[in-house]
Structure 1
Amino acid sequence: MADSRRIVLVGPMYPYRGGIAHLSETMAACLLERGHTVHAITFTRQYPALLFPGRTQYETGTIVERAVEAERLIDTINPFSWWRTAGRIQELGAEVVIFRYWIPFFAPVFGTIARILARKNIQSIVVVDNALPHERRPGDVVLGRYFFGAMQGCVAMSSAVDRDLDQLGVSCSRALGPHPVYNSFGTPSDRARARKKMGLAKDLPVILFFGFVRRYKGLHVLLDSMPAVRDSLPDVCLLVAGEFYDDEEPYQEKVESLDLQNQVKLVNQYIPKDEVADYFAAADVVVQPYLSATQSGVAQVAYQFEVPIITTDVGGLAEIVPHEEAGIIVPPGDAAALASAIVRYFVEDMQASLMAGVRRQKQSLGWDQLLDAIESVM
């Protein structure tokens, strides 16, 4: 364990929603438990409204007490707030600032704050969800290099992220710290109660696609696989739970053109933190048909609730879902292979045989690996 340090964690935290915010809150609590002094700073404005594809950027549902309350200081499009934030970090007596990084939009604000702090000999390190975005745009590499050029330490959350850091030429001290299993979504819900709440029969085979919908997540491929799944499992239900960041209409049209209205249940909304357990309790298996990825927090939520996973061999997903141990790995974009895997899972009753592997992964993806990696680059 590292010596106690005065740390400021910078990134999304409550009242902002989403997996990165939830992980940041737990990270702050875990660093406190390790004896560090921890403060947190988040946004007054995370995204301009015109750039945010969802309905709201804020957490809904029950408010829970957090170990560290974040100060809201950073306006991503107001550089004056960047200087004020750097000044506040100095006032807090920070020795180390830990940034969260996942898309290049945040490179100017975080990179500038880090450069201001470097003049005061305050170390900046980063926990990297994605070094390069899933959906690439011109300028991503330039922005990434601006940000990572200001870091003295980087923790990659998967080997795929680490390879992207190589591509960006990141030369600072680096470590690998796998995305830990979440522990922030409460205890498992009762399966029968969860299904009743969602209007699902207790004996239906239920597939869960969870999280916001973008094309790279491959929901369209999963929909294409469903007619073949239905042929073998007439009562199957695909539960899609997450807000559409893409236009929902093409997905609805696909459901209708494939005559899947009785097999697909779309819940087009952000799932509040206190409702997540119900969706995983209702599911027999989680399917992540991603076309591209570095890593995904959905798998770690599935492990929290001990639900096996069918996913694709992209990025770091196969690292955390050992094939035929904790789930099934299929090629990306292959609806036939995906359908075959889903049918096999139910016909061969693989939920029971995979459960031991799911529990091993849950145990192995605890918080110590990530925390050790963070401390190794401080």
Structure 2
Amino acid sequence: MRIALLGTAYPFRGGLATFNERLATELLAQGHQVQLFTFTVQYPDWLFPGKTQYRTGPPPPLPIVRVLHALNPLTWRKTGHAIAAFQPELVLTKFWLPFMAPALGSTLRMAQKRYPSLLRLAILDNVVPHEARPADRLLTRYFIGAVEGAVAMSRTVEEDWRAYTSKPVQRLFHPIYDSYGAPLPREEACKALGLDPAYRYFLFFGLIRPYKGLDLLLEAWKAPVLQAQTHLRLLIAGELYEPLDRYAALLQAPENQGRVFFHEGFVPDEKVPLYFSAADAVVQPYRSATQSGVTQIAYHFLRPMVVTRTGGLPEMVPHGEAGFVCDPDPVALTYALVEMAQTPVERFQPALEQLRNAWSWSAFVHKLLEFASSLQGAHTVPK
């Protein structure tokens, strides 16, 4: 099958690029013809909250074309025509933010206008964004009008889609991020990060935004019952997408002194194994969530998790098997963290290994293409 992927890829960094490139790699491995169409400009600099959108290093061995400017309608037409010229049977598009709806939705419409037999499917990170903005619903509806169906990776997102439209949706799963290599020896990883391997480390990993709940975790970490766990340390690794002032008082609180290590900054792919190999558990204290790529990295490295009862996280982390699930508040987090600290890591290994094997990319692609095949020939060109 000839398949086009429209969305983030090299030289852009982050989870969207990682997902799209790993998906393209799996499709190629299964014998499909694949072309990735990505951005020349994804976000204008004035809109991007981080330090840089780009990664360094050589490009992956994938057919990637940079053509789409998120704010330039002339490139939407150009990209649509380029996709049509590739003559794919299927185009897959990640959707994660209403801001991207005009560029992605218009490109998909123009591609199908040029190549009417094209089937267009969305792979949904979110339907309802974590942080609401004016016109979100209008923009999301515009994007939905440009696809024949969608794949959701959690029940929450599936339900959000159904609240918008009767178009088909298939709930699958978020595949494991297995492109980071094998775990490193723990002492080696700790040494590389400047950490004392005598302590146990609970890891908060990823971009730091209000909905990620780092403040809830830092408040919980002050609790006397956690202070009593003298062998335990909190390791934070991620880039701030908001002012440090939001967390300064909690980081500098007397109860947290010497017990919290903050490695601020975006973590490049080559350093991801260091953090997950050094960690004994991963903590996701999110206020809201759909599904999480951080969870799937934790599965790859067989690290148990403490997650909050929001969105798709409880689906992804069975309570008592792959970790612990609690409410998104400091008190509940405190007791879940203590329970994790007092539970032998070996208890979680059977479930972690079972789910890591079940949520493979080969299984995801098989089910994705099975769903696409069920829709082939049933779609019509939108007016």
Is 1:312 the counterpart of 2:308? The answer is: yes
User: Which residue is 1:207 aligned to?
Assistant: 202
CA shift, 1:173, in A, is 2.6
Contact map agreement 1:157 1:179 (CA 8 A) in 2? yes
Contact map agreement 1:117 1:123 (CA 8 A) in 2? no
Give the unaligned 5+ runs of structure 2.
374-383
Q: Which digits, 9 at most, give the CA deviation of each residue in 1:235-284, with x for residues without a partner?
A: 42111100000111221222113541311111111100011000001101
Report the AA paired with residue 300 of structure 1: Q
Q: Which digits, 9 at most, give the CA deviation of each residue in 1:278-334, with x for residues without a partner?
A: 0001101000000000110100000000100000110000101000000000011x2
TM-score, length basis structure 1? 0.94
Equivalence map 1:1-150=2 (5 Å) = 5-60=1-56, 62-63=57-58, 65-66=60-61, 68-119=62-113, 120-121=115-116, 122-150=118-146
Match of 1:338 among 322, 333, 341: 333
Contact map agreement 1:235 1:263 (CA 8 A) in 2? no
CA distance in 2 between counterparts of 1:141 and 1:34 reads 37
User: Which residue is 2:379 aligned to?
Assistant: none
User: Which residue is 2:177 aligned to?
Assistant: 182
Q: Which digits, 9 at most, give the CA deviation of each residue in 1:46-91, with x for residues without a partner?
A: 001011000000123x43633x231100000110011111111122
Is 1:195 the counterpart of 2:190? The answer is: yes
CA shift, 1:370, in A, is 2.3
Paired-residue identity, %:
39
TM-score, length basis structure 2? 0.93
User: Which residue is 2:380 aligned to?
Assistant: none
Is 1:280 the counterpart of 2:276? The answer is: yes
Report runs of 4+ in structure 1 exceeding 4 Å deviation: none
User: Which residue is 1:374 aligned to?
Assistant: 368
Report the AA paired with residue 52 of structure 2: T
Q: Which digits, 9 at most, give the CA deviation of each residue in 1:168-193, with x for residues without a partner?
A: 22x22321120000111112112101
CA distance in 2 between counterparts of 1:28 and 1:344 reads 40
Greater shift in the superposed pair: 29-38 or 277-286: 29-38
User: Which residue is 2:233 aligned to?
Assistant: 237
User: Which residue is 1:362 aligned to?
Assistant: 356
How well do the aligned residues superpose, as a CA RMSD in angstroms? Answer: 1.4
User: Which residue is 1:164 aligned to?
Assistant: 160
CA shift, 1:20, in A, is 1.4
Match of 2:221 among 226, 229, 238: 226
CA distance in 2 between counterparts of 1:312 and 1:223 reads 15
User: Which residue is 1:173 aligned to?
Assistant: 168
Task: Determine helix, strand or coil for the equivalent of 1:50.
Answer: coil
Greater shift in the superposed pair: 99-108 or 228-237: 228-237
Give the unaligned 5+ runs of structure 1.
none
CA distance in 1 between counterparts of 2:5 and 2:358 reads 25
Contact map agreement 2:80 2:109 (CA 8 A) in 1? no
Task: Determine helix, strand or coil for the equivalent of 1:299.
Answer: helix
Report the AA paired with residue 101 of structure 2: A
